[in-house]
Amino acid sequence: MTVASPRLLLVEDDRALAELLSRVLTEEGHAVTLAEDGQRALHLALTGHWDLLVVDRGLPALEGLDLIGRLRGRGVAAPILVLSARGTTQDRVDGLDAGAEDYLTKPFEVAELLARLRALLRRHAGGSRTVRLPGGELDVAARRVHRSTEDDVDLSDRECRLLGVLASRPRQVFTRRELLVQVFGDAESESIVDTYVHYCRRKLGRQVISTVRGLGYRLGPT
């Protein structure tokens, strides 16, 4: 029986580095697809199924961490490794808080990159992605919140995506405009954000999302 190659989306705008990585990763056994800007990566990630993503930060059209936040908010559960020249402690913290599982700073050793990707594949093989919420855990694939002291709660697709975006950066305040674009695709009035915040609170309690007056919303109680 043959084993399918892991499907890897490489998001890198440096053409020379992208070509090198594509060759190395293909030789390692990955089925590699390249996206050279954030918008193209967003489209590919939302319309395909991926086992791994390798994402640069300084991308044209859509910055790398914004890309990751949108993907996590829309239920893309594949493990993500950030590959970036930005290597301060705060840079790494920002990358992990955005929803990445790992962060590797350029310049890097190819052997270490490959080892980290193998570790991510082992860690996430067959697993479903969950994110922490106040009072429970959100199972993104099942669109369900598991609570230890109460019954589980099923969510609509939009409710799940809204909570996923907020949980991708739990300390950040998101404006209504940011949530509109990341969750609802910029197709409706910002009032729809308030509507779905109300729906989530009605199902999970007011503590799940707090209002920051004059700014927007963030995960958790005030």
Q: What is the pLDDT of residue 51?
A: 87
Residues 114 and 11 both lie in one domain = yes
Largest Cα–Cα distance of the chain, in whole Å? 59
Domain boundary among 80, 99, 124: 124
* Rounded-to-integer distance, Cα 178 and Cα 194, Å: 13
Domain boundary among 124, 149, 180: 124
The CATH number of residue 36's host domain is 3.40.50.2300
* Rounded-to-integer distance, Cα 110 and Cα 121, Å: 17
Which tens digits make up the pLDDT trace of 79-109? Answer: 999 999 998 999 998 998 888 999 999 999 9
Residues 15 and 119 both lie in one domain = yes
* Rounded-to-integer distance, Cα 83 and Cα 55, Å: 6
Higher pLDDT, 206 or 222: 206
* Rounded-to-integer distance, Cα 89 and Cα 150, Å: 38
> What are the start-end ranges of the H helices in 64-205?
64-73, 89-98, 110-124, 157-168, 176-184, 191-204
Residues 80 and 154 both lie in one domain = no
Domain boundary among 124, 152, 176: 124
* Rounded-to-integer distance, Cα 101 and Cα 183, Å: 22
Enclosing domain of residue 142: 130-219
The CATH number of residue 215's host domain is 1.10.10.10
Mean pLDDT of 167-185: 82
Whether pTM > 0.75 for this model: the answer is no
